[in-house]
Amino acid sequence: MHYLLIYELSPDYLARRGEFRKAHLDLAWEAADRGEIVLGGAVGDPAEGAILLFKADSPKPAEAFATTDPYVKNGLIRSWRVVQWRTAVGETAAVPLRLP
């Protein structure tokens, strides 16, 4: 299945992210190298949120990522949530659905 980790950014996110960016990206690339993160990044310009797409059997990898993310631990993320995304269309859909 796919899971979305959705971040709501704190008001001072852009001003403070530089201090924690390398550690955050290192953590994200480690998860990507394990096959957990498919895609991730900021939403909007300037950033107004962030979404990370996980491929896993449960929401646990996304939840574990959030709880260890330096952005979360240092208050750059106001809130986060993990939602199941039932992908049905596209080459990498978790549950491809084609109707006759």
Question: What does the pLDDT average to over 47-71?
Answer: 97
pLDDT digits (tens, 9 = 90+) for 20-50: 999 999 999 999 999 999 999 999 999 999 9
Q: How would you label 79-93 residue by residue, b for 16+ Cβ within 10 Å and e otherwise? A: ebebeeeebeeeeee
Bridge partners, 8 (sequence order)? 79
Residue 8 lies in a domain: yes
Number of domains in the chain: 1
Residue 10 domain flag: yes
pLDDT in tens, 47-56: 999 999 999 9
In-domain check, residue 97: no
Q: What is the pTM of this model?
A: 0.93
CATH number of the domain at 74, please.
3.30.70.1060
Q: Examine residue 95 and state whether it is found in any structural domain, yes or no.
A: no
